[in-house]
Chains A and B, each alone.
Chain A
Amino acid sequence: MIYFDKVTKTYSNDPNGFALKDINFSIAHNEFVSIVGHSGAGKTTLLKLLLAEERPTEGKVFFESVNVNELHRNEVTKLRRRIGMIFQDFRLLPDKTVYENIAFAMEAAGRGDDEIAFDVPHVLELVDLTHKMWDFPGHLSGGEKQRVAIARAIVNQPDIIIADEPTGNLDPVNTYEIVQILKKINDIGTTVILTTHNKGIIDLLGKRVITMEGGRIIRDDASGKYVL
């Protein structure tokens, strides 16, 4: 479903010369892939390439046999609607309530009002935040914010969820909860890509692990442990 073909990414002002070098891997439907590595190993750059936020210097990135870097802007928008994003810093819209944050993703995808009114409470129930529906993000704890972000990511039933260090700002209890929710999402048939430094998460999951270092993939284990 996702295929990186000899991808290299260089930033002109990068002293090391490259952010990613000769990246080759593919991800199948319904996989749960963790990408681990130190800060600066290239995990975030990898995800940005997949979202067409950045273009590769060399090589190609495919999403279901479509080269994402040849997409027109409108098509990029459509691509992103098929990908649910979860970030370390949550990235909720601060001026919108929890309900509106989730509704926004549906509105952007062109869903009808009835559908939104039905789906948003439903997805909030999934992440156990029904009681915070009309609160603004500023009034939520870190764990709650991340659960809103997950709800927003899954509400459009994307083909794939990308979680970029989703537990980076959370305490162990919340981390555990978030991982359980991601696992549940994967169980219903959504592909999940997770980046993390958290050894505990990887060992808990027991799924495929791609290990990166200095912009290269150094390990790719089908049922990996966190080794660095």
Chain B
Amino acid sequence: MLWVNTKRIIRTGFLSFWRNGFVSLSSILVMTVTLFSIIAVIFTNVILESVLNDLKSKVDVNVYFIVNAGESDIMQMKGTLEKLAEVASVKYVSREQALAEFKDKHKDDYLTIQGLNELGDNPLGARLNIVAKDPSQYEGIVKMIEEKNALATPEASIIDKVNYQQNKVVIDRLSAIIVGAKQFGFLLALVMIIISVLITLNTIRLVIYMSREEINIMRLVGASNMYVRGPFIVGGMIYGVISAVLAMILFWPITLWLAGATTDFFGGVNLYHYYIQNFFQIFIIVLGAGMLLGAISSFLAVRKYLKI
């Protein structure tokens, strides 16, 4: 009995979807916009995340060593730092490399190069570039380094200076921006999704409003609530499936077109590659959202006319 009813409900759902072609089309279009905005939100988050990561990786803290610091001591410190959970990477720049970088940077500045040449010896110390996993963690890392340095006797100390204090303002501000951007992005996404869900809900309500007389008749002919409601829910789910497919198809040319721009402008993520690589995952999310939205909207909309 249950199986027979389910079969009939599904068949009726498909049939009325097909026969009310124009109504179905308009619902699908509205729902496509909703799902489109959901995908857009996902992509915006991806871009935002990649921009932030890019920025984060550009912030680092340098530990400068005194000129006569031994390389083995420096490598030992590098090893200690790398073991820390907060540290993403540590890069060693030797004295020679530092000199080469310096020369390259000032190659047009004749006076500086001349002064350097007159000095004869390499005045630059080696340094470690430390990149933390999160900008807020620099403070702890630096504190640890400084504590270690303070413990050593003045003669044994090999650290010349740590440039954290100079970078601190930038790092703090960046941390704040990252937190803020994430919150704002989330809020924006939430508002957009809520608005589009409301629009879809209303559209489906209108569609079912047109069928209120039919719902009434079905009840009077002796159909149970579930039997009346079922086909509408099936219809809503069909809207969801088709809209999900449409929204996914729409994003193919869009990401392709945006791919170049986003890569150049934001650095890092190629939206098209992201879309292709995560196609299945995004599709499942959108499909689920669409079907759920359709089913729930229909369920709620029909309820109003089932009072008889």
Contact = CB atoms under 8 A, between A and B. Distances in A.
Interface of A: 51, 53, 73-74, 77-78, 80-81, 85, 91-95, 104-105, 107-110, 112-113, 152, 156
A32 to B, nearest CB: 22
Contacts of A78: 222
A53 B227 CA distance: 18
Given A53-B308, A73-B225, A110-B1, A95 B220 contact: no
Contacts of B218: 93, 104, 108
Contacts of B163: none
Given A77-B222, A91-B220, A108 B227 contact: yes
Nearest to B217: A91
B221 A85 contact: yes
Given A80-B220, A110-B1, A95 B214 contact: yes
B5 interface: yes
A137 to B, nearest CB: 11
Interface string B209-239: 0000110111111111101000000000000
B212 to A, nearest CB: 12
Contacts of A105: 221-222
B142 to A, nearest CB: 70
Contact of B214 (A93, A107, A156): A93
21 contacts: A53-B220, A74-B224, A77-B222, A77-B225, A80-B219, A80-B221, A85-B220, A85-B221, A91-B217, A91-B220, A93-B218, A95-B20, A104-B218, A104-B221, A105-B221, A107-B223, A108-B218, A108-B222, A110-B1, A110-B4, A156-B222
B220 A51 contact: yes
A198 to B, nearest CB: 23
Nearest to B213: A91
A73 B141 CA distance: 69
A122 to B, nearest CB: 18
B234 to A, nearest CB: 14
A185 B236 CA distance: 41
Interface in B217-263: 217-225, 227
B123 to A, nearest CB: 89
Nearest to B8: A107
B16 interface: yes
Contacts of B213: 91
A53 B220 CA distance: 9
B70 to A, nearest CB: 87
Contact of A108 (B214, B216, B221, B308): B221
Interface of B: 1, 4-5, 8, 16, 19-20, 213-214, 216-225, 227, 308
A110 B8 CA distance: 10
Nearest to B5: A110
Given A94-B214, A95-B19, A108-B218, A113 B4 contact: yes
Nearest to B308: A53
A108 B220 contact: no
Contacts of B219: 77, 80
Contacts of A94: 214
Nearest to B220: A85
Most buried by A among B1, B5, B222, B227: B222
B214 A109 contact: no
Nearest to A102: B221
Nearest to B215: A93
B220 A104 contact: no
Contacts of A73: 225
Contacts of B221: 80, 85, 104-105, 108, 152
Contacts of A51: 220
Contacts of A112: 4
B222 A80 contact: yes
Contacts of B224: 74, 77, 108
B223 A104 contact: yes
A213 B30 CA distance: 52
Contacts of B227: 107-108
A85 B20 CA distance: 27
A46 B227 CA distance: 27
The 6 residue pairs across chains A and B that have the minimum distance between CB atoms? A108-B223, A81-B222, A80-B222, A91-B217, A105-B221, A77-B224
A213 B122 CA distance: 117
Contacts of A53: 220, 308
A109 B1 CA distance: 11
A78 B219 CA distance: 11
Nearest to B223: A108
Given A85-B221, A104-B223, A109-B222, 16 more contacts: A51-B220, A53-B308, A73-B225, A77-B219, A91-B217, A91-B220, A104-B218, A105-B222, A107-B223, A107-B227, A108-B218, A108-B222, A108-B224, A108-B227, A112-B4, A113-B4
